[in-house]
Structure 1
Amino acid sequence: MRMRTGTRLALLTLWFSAIGLQPMTAGADPLPEPTADAFYDAPAGFATAAPGTVFRTRPVALTFYGIPTPITATQALFRTADSHDAPVTAVTTVIPSSTPRPGHPVISYQIAIDGLAAQCNPSYRLRIGTEGDLRVLVMLLQQGYGVVVTDHQGPRNAYGAGKMSGRATLDGIRAAESLPDTGFDGVRTPVAMWGYSGGALATGWAAQLQPSYAPELNVKAVAAGGTPADLQAAGRQMNGGPASSVYLMGVIGVSREYPDMQGLRDLLNDQGRQAEQVLSGRCIEEGAIAYPFRQLGDFTIVPNPLDDPRVQKFFAELKLGAAAPTAPVYLYHAVYDEGMPFAAAQQLARDWCAGGSKVWFQAEQVAEHLSLSVTETPAVLKFFADRFAGLPAPTNC
């Protein structure tokens, strides 16, 4: 269940007070959307820069449901790579803690963007005040962690494209570590990565890509919950349910990143093509209510597109688990998760364990997808604190 806006504001005010800050008064001018904001434009010659290179920065103030906060962050436009190694740019939002822990540890928090438009990205939503996960960031800052939040879906807003999200996450950390006046210690900075649901997709891909793509990063811990480890299995579980529209958005997002998938659009019927147009400019709040309780076959010329060999081959390439993280992992999942299949998360834990990862797989009996994102937070924070303290990582592989 989502908290009412008034409750959110009251809680945030308490959090600010706990860290010695007071909410500021409103009165800022409207902000341009990212598509109309030159800060997001890739500079000439960016393709020759190394991944993680910062091209421009700006200070920004963060707001929460109409109330400006005292939190000032730095946003950085940096170079990364898409799923096919082509150079692209992305933006990360970096918030050092005003009361840092020893060693200035950083948590890269991957928000579940789950949208198909530029205005869905946290770099924009944190500024206009519509990002509910700001309360998580405040909690991390209060505990002495620096925070990095990256627009991990890339310039095509490719919701569901795990490799793109993983690379952007890692390059966002690289960019953050290179910024001055943060207190971070460059590549020696101790880092943890955390995400839930769509944010866990980015986190999981970043974790398994890191040993080969960004081996210099000092990643101490990874936590991922409600993970969409197998997009095909997720489709079977979400098909016809309340989140069927969310899955349809993911299919559209992935198709933007993989040209080979464009041919699968031949399977769309008139309803499918209309749904693609309707959803393409929407964020999760509007998109989720567009086509609930619908069968995927309602949108295609075949009764069950997930049984099509082309679809099966494609989604097999998008499964998590082909490579193993070297950082310790806390993987948590609700046994009765109504959206993301528990069995797929179990298999991911097995695959990572088989590859040599130290994984603690936490199966929660009394939870579902939304509630687990809140109830497991204390365990995640303890896992991070213990890893930053150098304690041995637990494993139930």
Structure 2
Amino acid sequence: MRPLRRLALAALAAAACLGHAAPASASPVYPIPDADGFYAAPADLARFQAGDVVRSRMVPAANFPGSTVWQLLFRTTDSADEPIAAVTTVLVPPGGGLDRPLVSYQPFVNSLGMQCAPSHSLFDGGMREASALNLLLARGWAVAVPDHLGPISAYGAAQLGGRITLDGIRAAKRFAPAGLAHSPVGMTGYSGGGMATGFAAALASEYAPELPIAGIAMGGVPMNMGKLARDLGTTPNPMFGLGFAVAMGLEREYPDRAAMSRLLNPAGRALRDQIANACTEQIISAGANRSFSDVFDGPMDSDPSIVQVLHENSLETFPGVPRAPMYEWHGEADEIDPDLVRAVAGRYCQAGTPVQLDILPGVDHGGATTQGALRAFGYLSDRFAGLPAPSNC
């Protein structure tokens, strides 16, 4: 763990114990570490390989009748190539693993607090998508749900999310009690979960070439972080808080290259501190109808290092190309630009990847979620069955 991050986490933990908030500053503000010791990385983490299981536990699964559920702490790698620990939740339907298909499901986690992570929200009612997992389990598939924002809830760090997703799949396959060592793999996610899915797909051929990825399905994906921030922040916007949280999450992951806090004015530092441990609804409420000029003293795009970080975490500007067949869906009326989705799909097509792109007529971002997800599950089913992948390239 980088020294700056380690010191910040220690300071936050101490402040939490003393009942005092961390002081406002021009440095990143990290979340309060999870109080559950299961999430803590061991001192010897570096001796593990990427995707190795460090510890495991079985958890109650009342919301997933008949399924066996484990949580796995595994070793992965952060954006500075340092070892970190992350968690995935693995659900296996009745009958055991039996090398049945394994789907890695990346939820949309638009949050900065550790309590918002999927390994918590799956069980405390916080995850709106949780019931969809029963549709996958009912098909006889095992499901892995990674905490793809990582151990500091680095919202917006989509490359990190891709690595955590791939290493979470490795961990699920290496965890012998799950019985998934030879399972074919699918990946799916929507919105922020789609960003992690998309980066996992684009990184897989180099980062985890051994994984037998049969198909990928992702929807509502923001293809360019900088352009999304522009769309949410140039003028007052009810969703401004999410764009602001992305800036804070990227700073957490890239403290030396994306030093956003030094650009904040007093109102910006106050908003940053207010949402440092917040989940989605709190972030949206706190930042509603603000704009960049309300919280920043200068434009972020004036710093080449920040621009480069945004490019590295945007599928539009990331050179990697998925090799597994892909289904992608997006609402025609989505606030997230459908033209960028078409452009990225076209680049993948030109590289030889079979892509089936559905632009759903008259549907906005929220409306496309369920409509496309049902098609996505059918698409993965066909890939697991070995059927030829459709393409409308």
| Residues 1:37 and 2:36 are matched in the alignment | yes
Following the alignment from structure 1 to structure 2, what is the Cα–Cα distance between the partners of residues 85 and 347? 30
For residues 1-397 of structure 1, the aligned pairs below 5 Å read: 35-62=34-61, 71-98=67-94, 104-184=100-180, 186=181, 188-239=182-233, 240-302=236-298, 304-306=299-301, 311-320=306-315, 321-338=318-335, 340-397=336-393
SS across alignment from 2:61: strand
Following the alignment from structure 1 to structure 2, what is the Cα–Cα distance between the partners of residues 269 and 55? 42
TM-aligned CA deviation for residue 125 of structure 1: 1.7
Query: Residues 196-219 of structure 1: CA distance to partner in whole angstroms, max 9, x if unpaired?
Result: 001001000000000000000010
Q: Relative to 1, partners in 2 of residues 1:294 and 1:76: Cα closer, same or farther, differing over 3 Å?
A: same
Following the alignment from structure 1 to structure 2, what is the Cα–Cα distance between the partners of residues 180 and 277? 42
Following the alignment from structure 1 to structure 2, what is the Cα–Cα distance between the partners of residues 314 and 42? 26
Q: Relative to 1, partners in 2 of residues 1:146 and 1:293: Cα closer, same or farther, differing over 3 Å?
A: same
1:14 maps to none
- Which amino acid is 1:39 matched to? F
Following the alignment from structure 1 to structure 2, what is the Cα–Cα distance between the partners of residues 327 and 103? 20
- Which amino acid is 1:325 matched to? P
Q: Relative to 1, partners in 2 of residues 1:63 and 1:161: Cα closer, same or farther, differing over 3 Å?
A: farther
Q: TM-score, normalised to structure 2's length? A: 0.86
CA contact (8 A) 2:264 2:295 kept: yes
Following the alignment from structure 1 to structure 2, what is the Cα–Cα distance between the partners of residues 325 and 69? 34
Query: Residues 264-312 of structure 1: CA distance to partner in whole angstroms, max 9, x if unpaired?
Result: 332211111111101111011211111112111211113x545665543
Q: Relative to 1, partners in 2 of residues 1:196 and 1:247: Cα closer, same or farther, differing over 3 Å?
A: same
Following the alignment from structure 2 to structure 1, what is the Cα–Cα distance between the partners of residues 373 and 95? 21
TM-aligned CA deviation for residue 135 of structure 1: 0.2
CA contact (8 A) 2:251 2:259 kept: no
- Which amino acid is 1:324 matched to? V
Following the alignment from structure 1 to structure 2, what is the Cα–Cα distance between the partners of residues 257 and 150? 18
Following the alignment from structure 1 to structure 2, what is the Cα–Cα distance between the partners of residues 173 and 332? 23
Q: State, as a whole percentage, how many aligned pairs show the same letter.
A: 37
- Which amino acid is 2:41 matched to? A
TM-aligned CA deviation for residue 98 of structure 1: 1.5
Query: Residues 295-330 of structure 1: CA distance to partner in whole angstroms, max 9, x if unpaired?
Result: 11211113x545665543432232214111111011
Following the alignment from structure 1 to structure 2, what is the Cα–Cα distance between the partners of residues 325 and 125? 29
Q: TM-score, normalised to structure 1's length? A: 0.85
CA contact (8 A) 1:61 1:69 kept: no
Q: Relative to 1, partners in 2 of residues 1:242 and 1:69: Cα closer, same or farther, differing over 3 Å?
A: farther
1:9 maps to none
Deviates more, 1:287-296 or 1:225-234: 287-296
TM-aligned CA deviation for residue 69 of structure 1: 5.8
Across the two proteins, how many residue pairs are aligned to each other?
A: 358
CA contact (8 A) 2:328 2:355 kept: yes
Following the alignment from structure 1 to structure 2, what is the Cα–Cα distance between the partners of residues 333 and 282? 27
Query: Residues 190-243 of structure 1: CA distance to partner in whole angstroms, max 9, x if unpaired?
Result: 010000001001000000000000000010000110001100111122223221
Q: Which runs of 5+ in 1 are unaligned?
A: 1-32
CA contact (8 A) 1:91 1:172 kept: yes
TM-aligned CA deviation for residue 257 of structure 1: 0.5
CA contact (8 A) 2:118 2:147 kept: yes
- Which amino acid is 1:335 matched to? E
SS across alignment from 2:237: coil
Runs of 4+ in structure 1 deviating by more than 6 angstroms, as ranges, are none
CA contact (8 A) 1:209 1:323 kept: yes
- Which amino acid is 2:326 matched to? V
CA contact (8 A) 2:66 2:94 kept: no
Following the alignment from structure 1 to structure 2, what is the Cα–Cα distance between the partners of residues 238 and 100? 45
2:25 maps to none
